[in-house]
Amino acid sequence: MTTLMDETLLRSLTPGVLGILVRRGAEFAAAEDAVQDALVEALRVWPADPPRDPKGWLVTVAWRKFLDATRAEAARRRREEAVADEPVPDAVAVDDTLHLYFLCAHPSLTPSSAVALTLRAVGGLTTRQIAQAYLVPEATMAQRISRAKRTVSRVRFDQPGDVATVLRVLYLVFNEGYSGDVDLAAEAIRLTRQLAAVIDHPEVAGLLALMLLHHARRASRTAADGSLVPLAEQDRARWDTRLIAEGVEILQAALARDQLGEFQAQAAIAALHADAPTAAETDWVQIVEWYDELVRLTGSPVVRLNRAVAVGEADGARAGLAELAQLDPGLPRYPAVAAYLHERDGDLSRAAVLYAEAARQAPTLAERDHLVRQAARLNARG
């Protein structure tokens, strides 16, 4: 068994092992520490002596490490050791995993803390890996995770969870993309697949479909020099048709249940983009209809901003600008949308000014450089 195989297997087993310890009575923070110690021990031992039952091995080692850490409580230790070797039914293990998702996405946590704790407790990533992914010092991430663990340790493990909160956390993980040695987009897909396996919910399926459809376009989103490639200019031959087909199939099954949610609607928009052979053949009229559903579901000003772009494509730039005029100019990426629509309307000088303004507000270096190039292109034409 290679080290890579070990790490992949360990990450898949982590939530189930942690859930078992918590269900046996271990306080969350102490249980999570014990599981991390067991994972380190597994990476040391397994290459030379792989266990026949990896999950059972981890449960046994993690439980012993937890007991060692609480050995002063002798009476409790004797009581808990009596159940250490009890078999764990599959249904219980599934329930444990589901509860961990809800616990790590508890509303008492900030979004950043919820994401970090999910990656650590459910994803099985190390603090170092999470810190590298977020480009922060390991000590900073360790403090963030420690605070999150203390917070959820005060939460009853059987407290009902909100699947919408869990999905928002997973979507935050996905949108972080890639940095360091951890591909967070791929990790989010793995975790969402795991969640879909333990909870039958159309919005879980919708989020998984959305992730797959977006991820299918990943290879075409940047040029060789690292610059951004807009959707209309992407090489569609580089899109992953296998992921697109899987995403569409999952989405269709979710939509058939007639319980529409925002992730299903977003996935439907992504599927329409993926289905178009060329940018010119995109069904913008239907995309506007799906944005109407999203507005109804969320009321989000950002959704309305994206809808203005779709209206501009479906009904012409003037119609898109009319929709844009009804929105707050302070919205993120408002100047970029305005620049695009003004360019489509033929007002190149106004568009160039707006592209430059959007570049100054860009949240990432790659996006800023892209917008600067757009402004320069129009200024050269003018």
286 vs 116: which has the higher pLDDT: 286
The pLDDT value recorded for residue 287 is 98
Residue type, 219: A
Spatial distance between the Cα atoms of 304 and 258, rounded to a whole number of angstroms = 23
Banded model confidence at residue 161, pLDDT cuts 50, 70, 90: low
Contact between residue 335 and residue 375 where contact means Cβ atoms under 8 Å apart: no
**What pLDDT is recorded for position 214?**
96
The stretch 309-317 carries a mean pLDDT of 97
For residues 303 and 295, the answer to whether their CB atoms sit within 8 Å is yes
Q: Which of 27-41, 242-256, 366-380 has the lowest mean pLDDT?
A: 27-41
CA distance 233 to 231: 5
Is residue 73 classed exposed, middle or buried when 0-12, 13-18 and 19+ CB atoms within 10 A define those classes?
exposed
Q: What pLDDT is attached to residue 202?
A: 96
Strand, helix or coil at 379?
A: helix
Written as six digits, the tokens of 46 are 């397994």
Nearest-angstrom CA–CA distance, 94 and 168: 21
Q: How much of the chain, in percent, has pLDDT values that exceed 90?
A: 49
DSSP H/E element including 179: strand 178-179
Q: Which of 113-127, 250-264, 334-348, 351-365 has the lowest mean pLDDT?
A: 113-127
Q: What is the dihedral of CA 136, 140, 143, 147, to 10 degrees?
A: -50
Domain locations in the chain? 1-88, 90-199, 200-282, 295-382
Look up the pTM and report it: 0.78
- Which residue, 168, 161, 173, 244, is CA-closest to 199? 161
More confident residue, 59 or 23: 59
Binning pLDDT at 50, 70 and 90, where does residue 149 land? confident
Please name the residue that has the structure tokens 């009319």.
322
**pLDDT tens, residue by residue, 225-253:** 888 999 999 999 999 999 999 999 999 99
User: Average of pLDDT values for 271-283?
Assistant: 96
Residue 53 to residues 13, 57, 229, 269, Cα–Cα distance (Å):
11, 6, 47, 43
Contact present, 338 and 309 (Cβ < 8 Å): no
Question: Which residue would you say has higher pLDDT here, 199 or 344?
Answer: 344
Question: pLDDT tens digits for 88-115?
Answer: 434 445 456 677 888 888 888 888 888 8
User: Predicted confidence band at 177 (pLDDT cuts at 50, 70, 90)?
Assistant: low
Q: Give 319 or 159, the one with higher predicted confidence.
A: 319
At the top level of CATH, which class does the domain 295-382 belong to?
mainly alpha
